[in-house]
A = this chain, B = another copy of it.
């Protein structure tokens, strides 16, 4: 789920993770949840998306429930029943959120790139105090 980290001297890598939370702090929409949403958009099913993301259906469902409770709006239009059992698709609000998050993530990547480059350079200099 996490982006492949960047290397520096001493075989050191920088990693990061971002997530959204509500006021109370309990409840979060993590990277993995967004990945799940993206897969639901692609595959049209929570079950298939969970499999694709290599997490249990139970966790997938719980994460979505938590996110919807936190945001206080629907992320997914869920259709149950039918010969095919059912299917799911993202709500317009969810698509918007997903887009905004993707853009946010991209900006993060760029920023991290720059910041880590400075870090790498700093690690090549002598310490200011002994």
Contact = CB atoms under 8 A, between A and B. Distances in A.
Interface of A: 5, 10-23, 28, 71-73, 92-93, 95-97, 99-101, 103-104, 107-108, 111-112, 114-116, 118-119, 122-123, 125-130
A125 to B, nearest CB: 7
Contacts of A108: 16, 111-112, 115
- Copies of this protein in the complex: 2
A127 B92 contact: yes
A123 B100 contact: yes
Given A10-B71, A119-B101, A93 B127 contact: yes
A104 B127 contact: no
A123 to B, nearest CB: 5
Nearest to A121: B100
Nearest to A104: B119
A4 to B, nearest CB: 10
B99 A127 contact: yes
A92 to B, nearest CB: 4
